Structure 1
């Protein structure tokens, strides 16, 4: 009998709305998550304490663990601390670093992870990857997708607006990443998963075309949903291809070459995506992307982030080295530094439109 469907790893609960945190206890009581109420909740030492005070009465069976930071050592320590608790599930309550630590720790002890995001800085909140700092710099570790995702838009609005801006840049970069994936398919015959590509691209397009602003619930809903869908698209594909192309190579190059000056993940990815779209000849799409980035207060040039032309040329030239084996428009064109400089000058003229 032919297989008519495929199983896609995805959360059993996705709750994105204003006031969602008030119903967190009900989500966690789902028999697929925690029948006994025995939960290990990972929080930060700052804003996490306030959330603990707010939620502890409704989660009487929870044990609370403060996570020191976003390092591999922090995640290992968290896993060790949780090992003897006989918990049903792990809850990562916080921003990207807390959720990534919780994802890694949950995988290490064999428990499902519930992601309760307090900001929308990137698509890692529902991805099968935990990004953690280690002795060699930064590593990406494969983990299961969260079993549930809860995003309270009231909490999102309380976070610094730079986190929303970062999430916008990360979501928009999907459009360029999928274009790179399709390029690799055409040129090298690389397998492409149409469902994963469609999910990631439409997540980016929804953010690109939404008329709302940073404090608008309707826009935040679309952004949050887009970031969740992007994470699921990576699970469908089996790697980060739907959301990572030249845009993320440029982002990684900024981080590696200028670790003390790098901007946020989403700011760098947004600029990288707009420039990559220009490089592939999609000038109209690149201009549209820069217009949306500008409208939301994100940088569209290297100078906007405090880098000069020579530094940006160095970043783009180095970018392919950050992901050996990944084929993007950067590898396809293989531009010299003079070629990058000329392309960037053309991009600046287009971005000024």
Structure 2
């Protein structure tokens, strides 16, 4: 078995470090960039990065397959690197479009809301369902803590939820190993470290946003690297993610990804026989939702998503062949989600 691993060549993290973008381009011998941002991140950092790198700008929309094709078609031979400046959707678009165009990309997140900032996976919609597609990890990651610490509270808490959900994802991966699936011990350990770092520091992270953002960025980057090492999303995606994707399909992304997988992790941990209350308490402390009401959905939606989770994609998890409606409702009630 041949296992090829692609990892970022440069990671820059610190307060005010976005000014390093042009220098990192020079260090890695790139001259012309195509800089992607959306309406929300344009003023935060997008225009500034485009100006500093002397790159061409592209205002992007939703993270869809069609938008990826549009962006990739804009890339000219002179564009040696794509730069995504923004949240999850912008980073996913930059990742997928650069991969389609055969170009490397830089990840410059403006919020620590998800572990896609350094991963090789992109989450896209084809108009009917969301899918996780394989791409390449960023060639460089630049995390400006000053900018990221100013993100909305919900996005910060969502990032914590995404990191913490690795606890249940890794356990599901261990279950899949028993079914004959490839399992990478190092990637699993790195993923768990990412989650446990947030769990162990939750109290201080809830009080000190700059400290918390810095630590959360390290955890999310490590989680992304764990996926790159594994060659799949397995270290960071189990039944809790299937639940979130099912909820997206049923209710059209009612909450942030990290919020949904956090709630999913509470219920998944209960099924796995793990300390689900510890996960719930950490999420509460960090300001993340732990109930259907917190996600803005009805109790019936939670049960429906749990039942539909195994239909999202074929993946060995604690859910097995699926839960019945009564089993789903009992699980959600037992954990206080409904």
Q: Give the structure-1-normalised TM-score.
A: 0.88
Map 1:323-342 → 2, pairs under 5 A: 323-324=313-314, 326-331=315-320, 334-342=322-330
The 2-side partners of 1:11 and 1:198 are apart by 19
Residue 128 of structure 1: CA displacement? 1.0
The 2-side partners of 1:145 and 1:219 are apart by 24
Corresponding residue SS for 1:182: helix
User: Quick one: structure 1 residues 238 and 8, their matched pair in 2 at CA, closer, same or farther if it must change by over 3 Å?
Assistant: closer
Deviation readout 1:295-327 (Å, 9 max, x if unpaired)? 111111223323343332222111111122x11
Q: Which runs of 5+ in 1 are unaligned?
A: none
Query: Residue 194 of structure 1 is aligned with which of 171, 185, 193?
Result: 185
Query: Residue 259 of structure 1 is aligned with which of 248, 252, 268?
Result: 252
Q: Contact between 2:306 and 2:323, CA under 8 Å: does it hold in 1?
A: no
Q: Which has the larger radius of gyration?
A: 1
Q: Contact between 1:83 and 1:109, CA under 8 Å: does it hold in 2?
A: no
Corresponding residue SS for 2:125: strand
The 1-side partners of 2:101 and 2:71 are apart by 10
Q: Give the structure-2-normalised TM-score.
A: 0.92
The 2-side partners of 1:341 and 1:46 are apart by 38
Q: What is the root-mean-square deviation in Å for CA atoms of aligned residues?
A: 2.2
Q: Which residue of 2 aligns with 1:40?
A: 34
Corresponding residue SS for 1:64: strand
Residue 166 of structure 1: CA displacement? 1.1
The 1-side partners of 2:229 and 2:284 are apart by 32
Q: Which residue of 2 aligns with 1:19?
A: 16
Is residue 2:273 matched to residue 1:281?
yes
Q: Contact between 1:96 and 1:124, CA under 8 Å: does it hold in 2?
A: yes
Count of residue pairs the alignment pairs up: 336
Q: Contact between 1:43 and 1:49, CA under 8 Å: does it hold in 2?
A: no
Deviation readout 1:250-304 (Å, 9 max, x if unpaired)? 10111111116x211111100110111111222xx21111111101111112233
Deviation readout 1:65-110 (Å, 9 max, x if unpaired)? 22233222222111111124x1221111111111111112211221
Residue 116 of structure 1: CA displacement? 0.6
Deviation readout 1:110-133 (Å, 9 max, x if unpaired)? 111110111111111111112222
The 2-side partners of 1:63 and 1:185 are apart by 46
Is residue 2:234 matched to residue 1:234?
no
Is residue 2:138 matched to residue 1:119?
no
The 2-side partners of 1:236 and 1:319 are apart by 26
